[in-house]
Amino acid sequence: MRKKTIDNLNVRGKRVLVRCDFNVPLINGAITDENRIVAALPTIKKLIADGGRVILCSHLGKPEKKLSLEPVAASLSGHLSQSVKFLADEQVVSDNVRKAVSEMKDGEVALLENTRMRNEESKNDEAFSKDLASIADIYVNDAFGTAHRAHCSTVGVTAYVNESAVGYLMEKELKFLGAAIENPVRPFVAILGGAKVSDKILVIKELLNKVDKLIIGGGMAYTFFVAQGYTVGDSLLEKDRVKDAKEVIELAKEKGVELLLPVDTVVTQEFNADAPYKTVPSSGIEDGWGGLDIGEKTREIFTAALKDAKTIIWNGPMGVFEFPNFAKGTLALAQAMAQNSGTTIIGGGDSAAAVNQLGYGDKMTHISTGGGASLEFLEGKALPGVEAVQNA
């Protein structure tokens, strides 16, 4: 079912509460990466142009840290070339905030304080949901990165406003991820990396029903090595997931999916950027050595598997990409995807960070802003933040 978007709204003269994802990294109060702010701008600019009175809200950091969104207001003011009034109040919505909102004019923008200043936020508490709704005629959810969480600002508020819709960023996420999963142009290849099988096992099993090829690398590959009867030395290993890995190998055979696992691996005796390293067959990791990246032969096999792909989804790096010596596998796949003429989708999280860090972000069809949300979407789960807008 198609979600109502901001193009279906008449916002002139109305108070529009927009849930954004401004969960940006901060060092000493300074924003170090503005990608999430920039991603929200098309929706905000559209609502300004249409004469809405735009009230932005977001969480920032862990609930216990109580971080302020004030730096985000300053950043937004610069990007929008107009003042974004920061409503600094730890109650998030208070009488002072209501008064400030009531004085807003068409096309003006305000930003509420971090929604996690209120403990009720993560509990989807009715009182805070009603507080948020009390300053809005219309609610817009443009925060895909938190769409998998049923919080006051993503779900609860929708029950108490007159109208709800999704923003452009949310619409784009659902369009690309939805099309890839529901009706992919084939061959369809999925790449899964990252540290743990336990984080991805549900996604792996779901994707085996949909893909033509499944590539597995990163730290979780070593659990698959053990499932094949290899020893992995000091490599990352989830012993309690070896059974799952064996099941995946068998499922892939049953379903006719080509499952590609590393045939060689880059190993070292210590975990640091400058540690001496060597490449060994996947079956030849010695005691005292641990894998930190896929090897050269594996890079060749994996990149060759992407050449004729028409749809590629990638979630999770191939190695410790933060260390240049162990970023070669991740870099090779990023290069191969950048050269692919099909649809290339990065599923948020570390893989998005890696692609951007390596300089290939602008070569991808779509980079998801939500690691956890994109994983749950790929698992086939309904996202509460999306369902709430649809059903409001």
Catalytic residues: 36, 196, 349, 372
Minimal CA–CA distance to 92: which of 54, 43, 58, 62?
Answer: 58
DSSP string, 129-198: HHHHHTT-SEEEE--GGGTTS--TTTTGGGGGSSEEEE-HHHHHHHHHHHHHHHSPPSSEEEEE-SS-HH
CB within 8 A of 261, min separation 6: which ones?
216, 217, 221, 224, 225, 228, 282
Query: Which two tokens mark 10?
Result: 């008449």
With beta carbons less than 8 A apart as the criterion, state whether 373 and 144 touch: yes
Rounded CA-CA distance 145/352 in Å is: 13
For tokens 């006719």, name the residue.
256
With beta carbons less than 8 A apart as the criterion, state whether 22 and 69 touch: yes
DSSP string, 291-316: EEEE-HHHHHHHHHHHTT-SEEEEES
Rounded CA-CA distance 384/110 in Å is: 26
